[in-house]
Amino acid sequence: MTLTKEGYRPRIVDRQIAEALKTYGAVHIQGTKYCGKTWTSMNHAESMYALDDQTSNYRNLRLARVDGNYALDGGSPHLIDEWQMVPGLWDGVRRAVDMGGGSRKFILTGSSSPEEPKDDIIPHSGIGRIETVPMRTMSLFESGDSDGSVSLKGLFASEFANTQVKEKRLENLIDLTIRGGWPGNITPNEDGSPKVMTRYAEDVCRMDLPRVDRSKSPTRMERLIRSLARNESTLANMSVLARDIEENEGEEILSSTVSGYMDVLHRMCLLNNQPAFSPAIRSSVNVGKMPKRHLADPAIAASALGLDRDALLDDLNTYGFLFEAMCERDLDVYAQAMGGRLLHYRDGAGREIDAVVELRNRKWAAFEIKLGDDQIDAAAKNLKSVTKYISDRSSSKPKDPEFLCVISGMESAAYRREDGVYVVPITALRD
């Protein structure tokens, strides 16, 4: 019998965790703070040891630091929550898996990864024993805000039917964006307004950063997060971020310093950058390599900049970037469920595709993301033009995408256009 909490809302990642537990001795669930790792892990666990439990002045943590076996004892699968607080537990779990001969299963959760070791003791990678499963904040389908009438998996299988969906007002979409995919925020306030985590970035910098890297300044990290928020869904490099901080925060900072802080944000699971897509093994296309910048949830960007519904209604250009980030968060969740990954495309001539989903067999699909229905024709034309350019200049398979799709915000139907491009509201999409 598992430790599933009352009121638990199933997550898409549940299936990936269950499959990983069949194959590996341990599963490491890694994601940003408050994304739901503990409750989801409890849904698969028979017992639990929480290192961040404050009972008796953090008794669990103190015992595990003295003798890691305290943390390892329990029914299988056994959950060790926030394992990174005692980094040696990683090797302890690996050894327990080896000694157990497959009879013992573990689940590890972490909202950050430990610092690189400063001595000669290098932790084992865990390959073959511990499988890492990334976990995002909730997609709109998981939170119940997408009706799931269009499946990403179905689109790859050419299974699609035109369908009407409930139309969303712009205010509704903004509310979903600033609320974010935090499980604790899904229920609205009594007046129907969205719950928001206005102090998320500040709390992470002031309370969590010192536990991860005491050498980094919380104030400087807050400035970097605000800079990333201003550059959400762009290809900003370290020099651009450094210049942005100087211009908007009044602090001169070196690109190399920004890079060091970015590494810590990665370790804290606060970044979910979108890598560049390379369309073929051999191609004459000069493909860019810069990732598209994303904070772990677009709500972090909104809260870091103090943007509420009214502010975003007055600044639709900024909201367009946050809407794109929300759609790409959802695409990432759905792609991961298929064993795929989310990418983007930009070449040396400035041709762009907002999002590419690539599967393990190198099948791929291309997406443009547009808030208004007046932008759909141009988006479809761009998809056709850029993918034809890629196909014409690739000398090896795969050449052509499986399908092209415009993800929209304001459409009231999912349909296939005469040119073959799908149009799908984000509130209709699922894995």
Answer whether 342's CB lies under 8 Å from 331's CB.
Answer: yes
Average model confidence (pLDDT) across the chain: 92
Query: What confidence score (pLDDT) does residue 50 get?
Result: 96
Residue 348 has what pLDDT?
85
Instruction: Decide: 34 and 101 in contact? Cβ < 8 Å.
Output: no
User: Tokens representing 198?
Assistant: 């206005």
Packing angle of the helix pair 13-23, 316-337 (nearest 10 deg): 30
CB 429 within 8 A of CB 146: yes
Each residue's pLDDT tens digit, 10-38: 999 999 999 999 999 999 999 999 999 99
CA distances in angstroms from 367 to 82, 167, 188, listed in the order given: 36, 21, 30
Distance in angstroms (rounded) separating the CA atoms of residues 267 and 271: 9
Separation CA 61–CA 67 (nearest Å): 10
Chain centroid, CA 145 distance in Å: 18
Number of CB atoms found within 10 A of residue 214's CB: 8
In this predicted structure, the answer to whether residue 350 has a pLDDT above a threshold of 70 is yes
Q: How far is the CA of 238 from the CAs of 112, 300, 365, in angstroms?
A: 22, 20, 29
**pLDDT above 60 for 285:** no
Q: Are 275 and 306 in contact (CB under 8 A)?
A: no
Instruction: Average the pLDDT over 233-256 and give the result.
Output: 97
Residue 393 has pLDDT above 90, yes or no: no
Q: What integer is the mean pLDDT of 99-114?
A: 85
Residue 103: per-residue pLDDT: 80
Q: What is the pLDDT of residues 324-336, one digit of tens each?
A: 999 999 999 999 9
Q: Is 369 helix (H, G, I), strand (E, B) or coil?
A: strand
Strands 404-408 and 364-370 come out as parallel
Query: Averaged over 180-202, what is the pLDDT?
Result: 91
pLDDT value, residue 72: 96
Q: Are 303 and 200 in contact (CB under 8 A)?
A: yes
In the numeric block, the tokens 């792609």 are attached to: 335
Q: Beta-strand (E) ranges in 12-140? A: 26-30, 47-50, 78-81, 106-110, 130-134
Looking at the predicted structure, is the pLDDT value of residue 92 above 50? yes
Q: What is the pLDDT of residues 53-84, one digit of tens each?
A: 999 999 999 999 999 999 999 999 999 999 99
Task: Give Cα 183 distance to the centre of its chain.
Answer: 14
Q: Which residues lie closer than 8 Å to 1 by C-beta, 6 or more apart?
A: 46
Q: How confident is the model at residue 111 (pLDDT cuts 50, 70, 90)?
A: confident
Query: Does residue 403 contact residue 355 with C-beta atoms inside 8 Å?
Result: no
Read off the pLDDT band of 422 (50, 70, 90): very high
Distance (Å) of CA 425 to CA 107, 401, 422: 36, 20, 10
Residue in 237, 266, 265, 241 with CA at minimum distance from that of residue 252: 241
In the block, residue with structure tokens 């666990």: 45
Instruction: Write the pLDDT tens digit of every residue in 135-185.
Output: 999 999 999 999 999 999 999 999 999 999 988 899 999 999 999 999 999
Q: What is the pLDDT of residues 203-223, one digit of tens each?
A: 999 999 998 999 999 999 999
Note the residue count of the chain. 431
Q: What is the pLDDT of residue 390?
A: 87
Ranking 85-99, 122-136, 403-417 by mean pLDDT, the lowest is: 122-136
Strand partners, 341: 358
Span 353-365, pLDDT tens digits = 999 999 998 899 9
Q: Which long-range contacts (CB under 8 A, 24 or more apart) does 191-196 make?
A: 194/309, 196/299, 196/302, 196/303, 196/308
Count of Cβ atoms closer than 10 Å to residue 418 Cβ = 6
